């Protein structure tokens, strides 16, 4: 208790860091400022194809895992019904082989289905995030390509000038 009472005053007296932006409104204004056109697409060089392609692959794998999990769930339910109906008794005198209800218990099929569904969720969420990013990059590249006129100054050791670019 004595340690806590000694530690509290020093924490309460500590001044806030000086490099922070004051007020929540100033922080919100700096975060919501739009980026200049062409920044996200690197002046029209990137079109978002990589993000969209990986998003399609992740969507396919996620959908495949959902289908596989559904198939495993159906098979596990059928296996439960089989094990309820068929009461196979293995005697020592007449070996019948391996009992599928003992060596392949039905809960393993349900675990397989659950794991498949569980791994498909992060893949689909990641695919959605990649689709959103790819769409933003493609939109930025389209906006950059729609610019009609740009003037870029340049200079070297012996002179300078300006480059005029027309896009139509």
Q: Tell me: the pLDDT tens digits for 97-116?
A: 677 777 888 889 999 999 99
Strands (E), 24-167: 149-155, 160-166
Domain enclosing residue 91, as ranges = 37-148
Give the pLDDT of residue 123: 97
Give the pLDDT of residue 11: 47
Tokens 């794998």 belong to which residue?
61
Give the pLDDT of residue 124: 97
On whether residue 119 sits in a domain, the answer given is yes
On whether residue 12 sits in a domain, the answer given is no
On whether residue 60 sits in a domain, the answer given is yes
Give the pLDDT of residue 8: 57
Q: Quick one: which H or E segment has residue 83?
A: helix 49-85
Domain tally for the chain?
Answer: 1
On whether residue 59 sits in a domain, the answer given is yes
On whether residue 13 sits in a domain, the answer given is no
Stretches in the chain below the pLDDT threshold 50: 11-12
The C-alpha atoms of residue 168 and residue 68 are separated, in whole angstroms, by 50
Is the pTM value of this prediction over 0.75?
no
Give the pLDDT of residue 52: 93
On whether residue 121 sits in a domain, the answer given is yes
Question: Angle 49-85/106-145 helices, nearest 10 degrees?
Answer: 160
- Residue 4: count of CB within 10 angstroms of its CB: 7
Percentage of the chain exceeding pLDDT 90: 33
On whether residue 155 sits in a domain, the answer given is no
């Amino acid at each position: 208790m004595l340690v806590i009472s000694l530690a509290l005053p020093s924490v309460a007296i500590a001044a806030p860091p000086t490099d922070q932006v004051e007020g929540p409104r100033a922080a919100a204004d700096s975060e919501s400022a739009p980026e200049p056109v062409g920044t996200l697409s690197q002046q029209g060089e990137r079109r978002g194809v990589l993000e969209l392609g990986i998003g399609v692959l992740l969507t396919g794998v996620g959908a495949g895992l959902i289908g596989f999990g559904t198939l495993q769930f159906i098979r596990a339910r059928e296996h439960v019904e089989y094990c309820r109906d068929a009461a196979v008794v293995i005697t020592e005198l007449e070996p019948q082989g391996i009992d599928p209800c003992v060596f392949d218990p039905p809960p393993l099929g349900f675990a397989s289905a659950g794991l498949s569904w569980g791994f498909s969720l992060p893949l689909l969420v990641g695919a959605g995030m990649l689709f959103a990013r790819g769409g933003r990059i493609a939109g930025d590249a389209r906006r950059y390509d729609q610019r009609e006129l740009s003037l870029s100054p340049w200079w070297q050791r012996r002179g300078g000038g300006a480059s005029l670019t027309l896009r139509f």
